[in-house]
Amino acid sequence: MLGLGTWENEDPDQCAESVRTALEMGYRHIDTAQAYGNEDAVGEGIAAADVDREDIFLATKVWISNLDYEDVLETTQASLDKLGTDYLDLLYVHWPSRAYEPESTLAAFDELYDEGTVKNIGVSNFEPRHLDEAREHLDAPIFANQVETHPMLQQTELREYADEHDIEIVAYSPLARGDVFEVDVLGEIAEKYGVSEAQVSLAWLRENDVTAIPKATSEAHIRDNWESLSLELEEQDLERIADLDRTRRKVDPGFAPW
């Protein structure tokens, strides 16, 4: 339910160290992507940690320029080489954009799944219409949809869709890129429990069956996020968060599908 995100963790030494620190602290879910430019460093962090590879849930994403059938196969192998592993626990389509063609793109994902190179297939930034289309073309199940999700962008429709079709929601930018520290309601709830606003946001996501992958680089922030696992919010606090404005999107590139 809680992983380490690595978006914009671009310094190789820092990235490797944050991955190692998180794994040795107890994290078991590590998320990266071809576009992050840090798969090598993530692999180094995994290798340095005193944790067996089979105990780690490792995910990466195929970038939008690599979504032709052959490119999916070739670049996924390159990702495996950089990460120092012979399989991925989860491989995502990063966005339904540019070279993405459901029939050919997802045929490559099915091939990787069937040969055991990929244990689970995921998508990212998919709206319900894209999920419907992907489910028509995939033989394998869609395991997860990774989307921006936090108290100010609650993704109610996507969470309902995921619940209906047995798909996990994985939240990127679960702290709204720092905006959670500026929301009075979250601050009041954090003060009540003696925790950070980050922990409140992560606990709210967990209570709503959403897996969060906050980026953190320092040991202090990695630990603060980890401690959210022991925070249980009262129903009245969950309701206060549910009533927040839900339209504050932080990641909105021109090629986004919405």
Considering the domain boundaries, does residue 218 fall inside one? yes
- Asked if residues 146 and 92 have their Cβ atoms less than 8 Å apart, the reply is yes
> Mean pLDDT throughout 153-172?
97
Instruction: Report the distance separating Cα 18 and Cα 222, nearest Å.
Output: 8
Considering the domain boundaries, does residue 251 fall inside one? no
**Is a pLDDT exceeding 90 seen at residue 246?**
no
Considering the domain boundaries, does residue 255 fall inside one? no
Give the total number of structural domains in the chain: 1
What's the chain's Rg over C-alpha atoms? 18
Considering the domain boundaries, does residue 252 fall inside one? no
Model confidence at 155, pLDDT cuts 50, 70, 90, reads very high
pLDDT of residue 122: 98
User: pLDDT of 2-37, one tens digit each?
Assistant: 999 999 998 999 999 999 999 999 999 999 999 999
The two beta strands, 121-124 and 142-148, are parallel
Considering the domain boundaries, does residue 235 fall inside one? yes
Q: For the beta carbon of residue 95, count every other beta carbon within 10 angstroms.
A: 22
Whichever domain contains 229, its CATH number is 3.20.20.100
Instruction: Report the distance separating Cα 69 and Cα 176, nearest Å.
Output: 34
Map tokens 């939008």 to a residue: 64
Considering the domain boundaries, does residue 232 fall inside one? yes
Catalytic residue, chosen from 36, 100, 161, 172, is 36
* Whether 27 is catalytic: no
